[in-house]
């Protein structure tokens, strides 16, 4: 199993009014999944290793000499990933899917060497409606990352297209 994703978003910085942080995320996940039939659907579970990088473009420079996570020019998180999911056909080509991912301990690297996190844990949920056995899907995702004083929640619409199996 190989997954490559890319996304972009911007956030306003409440600590520094008027500052906008434009972030671009790229994630790569390589995993081995086991599948089994369960209740007429397909249950999967497995282990992988993931890498997530963020590049940041800010409308302002970090004030003073204090390091700040939101102003770091790049960030990278990587670690072992636990995966689970369930897929169920509903009618014809339509179905439902629900995926769960957890990274119990992620290694962190930052473009500003003054920054560090003692640990980072992430958790992700992704329910969605699927078409043709998950060849195309639309749904929602929720992700939470915590570590030390760091706490990030992201969520939004998730649209996927599989490039294999057609």
Identify the residue whose tokens are 């179905």. 95
Whether residue 5 is predicted with pLDDT greater than 60 in this model: the reply is: yes
pLDDT at 142: 94
Q: Where are the beta strands (DSSP E) in the chain?
A: 2-12, 20-38, 41-58, 74-91, 94-103, 107-110, 121-131, 136-147, 150-161
Instruction: Kindly report the pTM of this predicted structure.
Output: 0.79
pLDDT at 139: 95
pLDDT at 50: 93
pLDDT at 63: 65
The 3-state DSSP class for residue 71 equals: helix
Mean pLDDT of the chain: 86
Nearest to 145 by CA among 165, 109, 110, 117: 117
Sign of CA dihedral 88, 47, 3, 99: positive
Q: Phi and psi for 71 in degrees, rounded to 5? A: -95, -5
From the number of C-beta atoms within 10 Å of its C-beta (0-12, 13-18, 19+), residue 109 rates as middle
pLDDT at 64: 64
- Look up residue 165 and give its two tokens: 């199996």
Nearest to 4 by CA among 65, 64, 48, 40: 48
pLDDT at 67: 62
Contact call for residues 9 and 23 (beta carbons, < 8 A): yes
pLDDT at 20: 82
Instruction: Summarize pLDDT for 25-45 with one digit per residue, the tens.
Output: 899 999 999 999 999 899 999
pLDDT at 102: 95
């Amino acid at each position: 199993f190989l997954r490559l994703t890319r996304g972009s978003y911007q956030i306003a910085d409440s600590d520094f009014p008027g500052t906008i942080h434009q972030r671009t995320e790229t994630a790569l996940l390589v995993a081995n999944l086991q599948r089994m039939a369960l209740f007429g659907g397909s249950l999967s579970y497995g282990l992988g290793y993931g890498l997530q990088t963020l590049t940041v473009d800010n409308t302002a420079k970090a004030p003073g000499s204090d390091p700040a996570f939101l102003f770091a020019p790049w960030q990278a998180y990587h670690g072992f990933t636990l995966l689970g999911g369930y897929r169920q056909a509903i009618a014809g080509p339509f179905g439902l899917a629900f995926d769960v991912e957890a990274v119990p301990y992620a290694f962190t690297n930052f473009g500003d060497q003054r920054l560090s996190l003692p640990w980072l844990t992430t958790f992700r949920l992704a329910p969605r409606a699927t078409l043709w056995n998950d060849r195309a899907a639309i749904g929602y995702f929720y992700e939470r990352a915590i570590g030390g004083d760091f706490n990030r929640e992201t969520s939004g619409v998730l649209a996927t297209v599989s490039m294999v199996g057609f």
